[in-house]
């Protein structure tokens, strides 16, 4: 009888242990699933449109130059005020520049430099370069119209080599945000923004695939988005221009990976 009791006890103990492990694994799966789905991507709305804003480049007048070095750039801006704070709630929600609205100056799809005056100088080395400059709101959202952007090919030096081979008439993705280090409240909402040239985005056409810390999101409209739920530390963002079948669209700028840092 005692032996039978011991066996029954062992069976009950094994059963309880199995149930506890099963429950623990189930809870772990729930936790893992919650962690996996904590990052969200939402379309940003409510920004002033600035549909009639114009950006033009006056200098350099010629983009073929004998040698590299410091180059003076001069832009004309119409129907848009550099240095002004962009109106609306997004300036409070997103990382916002205290210096106001500005120009994003991007050479060869590298991280942009921000310019709050229409005239400035940049060091341009020998080579074939592709310049994209566009108007930006104070919280770094690009102004998206056909006149708010300047696209130029710069040929600098004697017999420079075009190492990129960019076709400036082909569908092209230009990365803009996120960028740099975010602190405090600015870590809650990160602006994801880019420029597209020579194409449109749609649910049944070309798209941008965003991969954020390994999680994929499909963007079917050329619009700014807000990334939420990111962990502190280093965050990896990859943007890729793809066609309706999900195939990569060829081009040296059409797949780019950047990292940003979030700190308390």
Q: What pLDDT, in 10s, does the model give residues 102-133?
A: 999 999 999 999 999 999 999 999 999 999 99
Domain assignment present for 6: no
Domain assignment present for 79: yes
Domain assignment present for 8: no
Token couple for 57 = 């480049």
Domain assignment present for 244: yes
Token couple for 8 = 């029954």
Domain assignment present for 219: yes
Domain assignment present for 35: no
Q: What are phi and psi of 90, to 5 degrees?
A: -65, -25
152 within 8 A of 62, measured Cβ to Cβ: no
Residue 171 has pLDDT above 90, yes or no: yes
The rounded distance, in Å, linking the Cα atoms of 110 and 105 is 9
Provide the domain limits for residue 196.
Answer: 41-263
Which has more confidence, 3 or 249?
249
Q: Which residue has the tokens 């893992």?
A: 32
Domain assignment present for 26: no
Q: Based on the structure, what is the number of domains in the chain?
A: 1
The rounded distance, in Å, linking the Cα atoms of 146 and 133 is 12
What is the phi-psi region of residue 45: left when phi exceeds 0, alpha when psi lies from -120 to 50, beta otherwise?
beta
Give the residues across from 261 on adjacent strands.
181, 234
Kindly report the CATH number assigned to the domain that includes residue 54.
2.60.40.10
Give the model's pLDDT for residue 104.
Answer: 98
Domain assignment present for 191: yes
pLDDT digits (tens, 9 = 90+) for 25-41: 545 444 444 445 599 99
Question: 9-23, 29-43, 140-154: which has the minimum mean pLDDT?
Answer: 9-23
**Distances, alpha carbon 221 to alpha carbons 22, 43, 44, 160, in Å:** 43, 9, 11, 37
């Amino acid at each position: 009888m005692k032996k039978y009791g011991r066996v029954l006890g062992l069976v009950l103990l094994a059963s309880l242990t199995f149930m506890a492990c099963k429950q623990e694994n189930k809870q772990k799966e729930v936790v893992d699933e919650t962690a996996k789905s904590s990052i969200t991507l939402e379309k940003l709305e409510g920004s002033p449109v600035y549909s009639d804003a114009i950006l033009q480049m006056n200098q350099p007048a010629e983009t073929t130059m004998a040698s590299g070095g410091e180059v003076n750039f001069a832009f004309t801006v119409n129907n848009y005020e550099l240095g002004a704070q962009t109106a609306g709630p997004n300036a409070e929600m997103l990382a916002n520049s205290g210096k106001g609205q500005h120009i994003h100056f991007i050479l060869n799809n590298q991280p942009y430099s921000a310019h709050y005056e229409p005239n400035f100088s940049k060091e341009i080395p020998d080579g074939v370069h592709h310049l994209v400059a566009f108007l930006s709101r104070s919280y770094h959202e690009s102004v998206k119209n056909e006149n708010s952007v300047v696209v130029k090919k710069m040929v600098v030096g004697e017999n420079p080599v075009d190492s990129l081979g960019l076709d400036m008439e082909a569908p092209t993705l230009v990365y803009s945000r996120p960028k740099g280090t975010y602190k405090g409240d600015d870590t809650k909402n990160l602006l994801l923004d880019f420029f597209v040239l020579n194409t449109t985005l749609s649910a049944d056409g070309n798209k941008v695939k965003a991969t954020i810390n390994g999680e994929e999101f499909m963007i079917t409209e050329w619009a700014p988005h807000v990334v939420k739920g990111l962990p502190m530390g280093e965050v990896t963002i990859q943007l890729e221009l793809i066609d309706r079948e999900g195939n990569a669209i060829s081009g040296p700028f059409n797949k780019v990976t950047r990292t940003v840092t979030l700190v308390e």
